[in-house]
Structure 1
Amino acid sequence: MKSYKVETADLVEKVYSSIKEMILKGELVPGQKLIQEEMAAHLGVSRTPILSAFSKLEKEWLVKSIPRRGFYIYEMSREEKINLFDIRLRLESLGAFKAAELGTPKEKKALLSYVEKNSSKDFSTSSSGFNQHDYEFHRRITDMSRNVMLSTMISSYNIVSLSNQDDRTIDYSRSISDHLAISRAISESDAAKAEGLMRDHIQTGLDRIQGV
């Protein structure tokens, strides 16, 4: 019985991760209804782990359950988007500061190399490609902060943010330019500069939502 529970928990985690990745890639979009039977068939599992994964995703604001209607990919209101960016602005600037302060030379070099490698890509033709790059960029930084709680919160917030953004309003070249500047500040261990650049970077996204 104990072994069965472990296997079940592991399966739920795999289903949860798969659905989360589908949201990040834009394969599941805000407002889309999730059909348990279809999702179970797509992932090759029963409905039980699907339902458990939906419940877990709902706690992260990625899925919303509506009584007598079912589960949907969460669609944020304008006010919710503004509130989310306000949280991100404060948390991620702290994450950048800590990354510059606590990240290892190897991690800092890898971050800068990752961003430089992606800087020549034309993301205007692939919003899902940019979303994956953007998520990975912010994930690496928060992982370097050595704060598991901070990293976990930002990771969830970023997927919600990316899945609900209007791709038509994104300045891809500016975003990549910001990423390069932030990565360089972190690689130079300039915590104050990294914090300020990250704050400006998130503020740009907030201004875009507010129409500033």
Structure 2
Amino acid sequence: MDIIDLKIRDYKNAREAAFEKIKEAIIKGHFKPGEKLVEQTLAQEMGVSRTPVREAIRRLEAEGFVISIPRKGVVVSRADKEEIVQLYSIRAELEGLAARWAIENADEDDIQKLDEAISRMEETVASGDLDGVVQSNALFHDAIAQASKSRILCTLLKTLQDNIQRFRFQSLHLPGRPEAALAEHKEIIAAIKEKKAEEADRLLKEHLQNACAAALAHMK
């Protein structure tokens, strides 16, 4: 389990910092599914009042990271297999569409961002930097969405990405998955560059099916 520093140092943005700190701790497994989150304890660890922590927890509940249980309090939500499958399935359809539109609308800057994400992932996979792998993986998928030039599609995918972060982190920590994901990314970008829309769509969907399978395997 990663060690998470919950201490907040930017008090001007305590609300946003509290939200991001707690969310990161949940995503990285510092706070386990079913674990109770106590406002006062979190506030003390972060060095802030309970108000920004309370507001952060409300946002986390709205995004599905925590749930409020009567007479028990707020606990980290448990991953539901059916929900994970649904999230990845919806994301696959939308990202497949994003790839098709990226082929139609991407400019040189968009392609450069995809190449940079691939290069960054190669470096992090080679060095065993799993946090870096997760970040570069996110950059790659974000770059495809941005290349579609669709504000609506980007907004929908951003919402899904926020909900899927915890499972993405888990799937990329499965042995062999970072290397496989990198190889899949390279195939996807090759199809986009060659303007093979159907192939790019298919490869992206297969890639996300594999990511979903890895996330589910991590739960066992």
1:114, distance to aligned residue in structure 2 (A): 2.0
1:175, distance to aligned residue in structure 2 (A): 0.9
Matches within 5 A, 1:28-177: 28-122=31-125, 125-145=128-148, 146-147=150-151, 148-163=154-169, 165=171, 167-168=173-174, 171-177=177-183
**Equivalence for 2:189:** 183
Q: TM-score, normalised by structure 1?
A: 0.78
What SS class does the counterpart of residue 121 from structure 1 fall into? helix
| Range that drifts further, 83-92 or 18-27 | 18-27
What SS class does the counterpart of residue 71 from structure 1 fall into? strand
**Equivalence for 2:7:** none
**Structure 2 residues not aligned, in runs of 5+:** 1-10
Instruction: Among all aligned residue pairs of Structure 1 and Structure 2, give the percentage whose two residues are the same amino acid.
Output: 29
RMSD: 3.1
Contact 1:40 1:50 in 2 (8 A): yes
Contact 2:33 2:77 in 1 (8 A): yes
1:32, distance to aligned residue in structure 2 (A): 3.2
1:124, distance to aligned residue in structure 2 (A): 9.4
Quick check: 1:195 aligned with 2:198? no
Q: Deviations over 1:87-107 (max 9, x none)?
A: 222122222223333333112
Taking a change above 3 Å as real, the CA distance of residues 70 and 171 of structure 1, as seen in their structure-2 partners, is same
The whole-number CA distance in structure 2 between the counterparts of 1:15 and 1:171 is: 31
Taking a change above 3 Å as real, the CA distance of residues 99 and 54 of structure 1, as seen in their structure-2 partners, is farther
**Structure 1 residues not aligned, in runs of 5+:** 1-7
Q: Deviations over 1:110-161 (max 9, x none)?
A: 2212212322434795544433332332223223333342232232133143
**Equivalence for 2:3:** none
Q: Deviations over 1:66-91 (max 9, x none)?
A: 22222222221222222222222212
**Equivalence for 1:3:** none
Higher RCO (CA-CA < 8 Å; seq separation 6+): 1
Taking a change above 3 Å as real, the CA distance of residues 204 and 63 of structure 1, as seen in their structure-2 partners, is same
What SS class does the counterpart of residue 72 from structure 1 fall into? strand
**In structure 2, what residue type is equivalent to 1:141?**
I
The whole-number CA distance in structure 1 between the counterparts of 2:173 and 2:59 is: 27
What SS class does the counterpart of residue 64 from structure 2 fall into? coil
1:170, distance to aligned residue in structure 2 (A): 5.6
Q: TM-score, normalised by structure 2?
A: 0.75
1:63, distance to aligned residue in structure 2 (A): 1.8
State the number of aligned residues.
204
Taking a change above 3 Å as real, the CA distance of residues 160 and 187 of structure 1, as seen in their structure-2 partners, is same
Taking a change above 3 Å as real, the CA distance of residues 98 and 154 of structure 1, as seen in their structure-2 partners, is farther
What SS class does the counterpart of residue 75 from structure 2 fall into? strand
Taking a change above 3 Å as real, the CA distance of residues 128 and 67 of structure 1, as seen in their structure-2 partners, is farther
| Range that drifts further, 96-105 or 197-206 | 96-105
